[in-house]
């Protein structure tokens, strides 16, 4: 007598084969009732799932993948710490996975082989083929701080970029700055554009005729230093510059530029960053910055995946956590 097939289980439960597969492996945004109906049909038919010889394992591992473009930076450190604590609390392990350019060994292929229960993409804009592969195996995906608005309708976790930058603008305007500057990152990702827009719009409300120098650099401190030096050298003796950097790494570059040109912080230059990574408090003076709740954002992404494994639907709208301006000595 032949063993029952997944198609027979699906027919008995009144669902598609793909839905039956997700229900039995604990994946996807299925209702608890649907998941239970499929499992009951499988039990009645005597259906069992065994590990496949190739491709994705039938049994989903208690593992979430954190996929980043790189792990050797302060932002990634905070994300990994927050995601690990949250995953452990929900009974999952966390695998650190690097994005690769090789199509045959990119993250969706490795996730399929491992049988991961869910994926967090950090600062990554997934491609259409990547999403198609992940959806074909029914693995839930959450995008953390997406670099563009195009997320293929995937759930995302982000922060109040515009509001945080507006708080920086209000603060610098209140501290007696006579001239302003913004350091943008290149390429201009979604969150960088939002922070720039929030800062300039808010400053226009308070000081509509203020001069704002806008410079762009690669997302590295050394590049920001080189971009800011000409601005500092153009300052008049009585100018007091209010400088907003859209990341703490770029703010560190502004510190280096001040050292090159002989300007003092905060006497000559007031600096506000964005992120509040650990290095912000180690600068001299410590950097006033807009705190992005990075660990909490990573934890929220993990909780969304764990809830999806339990049968909950992933939220359609972005999950947004609030920023706050942290008081330190650079202003």
326 within domain boundaries = no
β-strand 141-144 against 118-122: which pairing, if any?
parallel
Residue 119 buriedness (CB in 10 A; 0-12 / 13-18 / 19+): buried
User: Do both 182 and 243 map to the same domain?
Assistant: yes
Check residue 69 and give its pLDDT: 83
Cis-peptide, bond into residue 247, ω within 30° of zero = no
What number is the average pLDDT over the span 32-47?
81
User: Do both 98 and 186 map to the same domain?
Assistant: no
1 within domain boundaries = no
Check residue 109 and give its pLDDT: 86
% the chain with pLDDT above 90 = 62
% the chain with pLDDT above 70 = 92
Tokens matching residue 17: 């084969």
**Residue 102: band (very low, low, confident or very high) from pLDDT cuts 50, 70, 90:** low
Distance CA 67, CA 69 (A): 7
50 within domain boundaries = no
Check residue 26 and give its pLDDT: 61
For residue 274, give the CATH number of its domain: 3.40.50.2300
Length of the chain equals 331
- What confidence tens digit (pLDDT) does each residue in 225-243 have? 999 999 999 999 999 999 9
pTM: predicted TM-score of the whole model, two decimal places: 0.80
User: Do both 152 and 170 map to the same domain?
Assistant: no
Long-range contact set of residues 133-140: C-beta below 8 Å, sequence gap at least 24: 133/108, 133/109, 134/108, 137/56, 137/111, 137/112, 138/18, 138/21, 138/22, 138/25, 138/27, 138/28, 139/27, 139/111, 139/112, 140/27, 140/28, 140/29, 140/304, 140/305, 140/308, 140/309, 140/314
Structural domain including 150 reads 63-158+294-321
User: Do both 167 and 261 map to the same domain?
Assistant: yes
User: Do both 283 and 317 map to the same domain?
Assistant: no
Q: Residue 77: is its pLDDT beyond 70?
A: yes
Mean pLDDT of the chain: 89
54 within domain boundaries = no
- What confidence tens digit (pLDDT) does each residue in 128-153 have? 888 888 888 888 999 999 998 877 78
Check residue 49 and give its pLDDT: 59
Phi-psi sector, 26: left (phi>0), alpha (psi -120 to 50), beta: left
Check residue 118 and give its pLDDT: 92
User: Do both 180 and 285 map to the same domain?
Assistant: yes
β-strand 288-291 against 324-326: which pairing, if any?
antiparallel
DSSP annotation string for 162-219: HHHHHHHHHHHHHTT-SEEEEEEEES--HHHHHHHHHHHHHHHHH-TT--EEEEEEES
Indicate the number of domains in the chain.
3
Which residues are within 8 A (CB) of 216 and not within 5 positions of it... i.e. 6 or more apart?
183, 184, 185, 186, 188, 227
329 within domain boundaries = no
328 within domain boundaries = no
Inter-residue contact 115 to 56 (CB < 8 Å): yes
Check residue 41 and give its pLDDT: 86
**Residue 60: band (very low, low, confident or very high) from pLDDT cuts 50, 70, 90:** low
185 within domain boundaries = yes
Q: Residue 247: is its pLDDT beyond 50?
A: yes
53 within domain boundaries = no
């Amino acid at each position: 007598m032949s063993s029952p097939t997944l198609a027979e289980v699906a027919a008995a439960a009144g669902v598609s084969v793909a839905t039956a597969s997700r229900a039995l492996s604990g994946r996807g945004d299925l209702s608890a009732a649907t998941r239970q109906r499929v499992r009951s049909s499988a039990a009645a038919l005597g259906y069992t799932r065994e590990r496949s010889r190739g491709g994705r394992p039938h049994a989903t591992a208690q593992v979430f993948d954190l996929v980043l473009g790189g792990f050797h930076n302060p932002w990634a450190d905070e994300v990994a710490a927050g995601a690990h604590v949250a995953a452990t609390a929900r009974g999952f392990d966390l695998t650190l996975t690097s994005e690769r350019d090789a199509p045959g060994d990119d993250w969706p292929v490795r996730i399929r082989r491992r049988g991961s229960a869910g994926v967090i993409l950090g600062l990554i804009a997934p491609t259409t083929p990547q999403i198609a592969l992940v959806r074909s195996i029914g693995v839930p995906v959450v995008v953390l701080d997406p670099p563009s608005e195009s997320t293929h309708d995937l759930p995302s976790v982000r922060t109040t970029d515009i509001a945080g930058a507006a708080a920086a603008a209000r603060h610098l305007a209140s501290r007696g700055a006579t001239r302003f500057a913004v350091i943008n990152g290149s390429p201009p990702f979604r969150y960088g554009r939002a922070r720039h827009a929030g800062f300039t719009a808010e400053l226009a409300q308070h000081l509509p005729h203020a001069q704002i120098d806008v410079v762009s650099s690669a997302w590295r401190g050394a590049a920001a230093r080189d971009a800011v030096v000409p601005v500092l050298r153009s300052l008049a003796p009585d100018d007091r510059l209010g400088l907003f950097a859209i990341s703490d790494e770029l703010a560190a570059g502004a510190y280096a530029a001040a050292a090159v040109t002989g300007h003092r912080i905060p006497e000559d230059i007031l600096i506000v960053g964005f992120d509040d990574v650990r290095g912000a408090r180690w600068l001299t003076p410590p950097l006033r910055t807009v705190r992005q709740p990075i660990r909490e954002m990573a934890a929220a992404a993990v909780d969304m995946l764990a809830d999806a494994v339990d049968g909950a639907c992933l939220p359609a709208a972005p999950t947004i956590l609030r920023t706050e301006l942290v008081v330190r000595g650079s202003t």
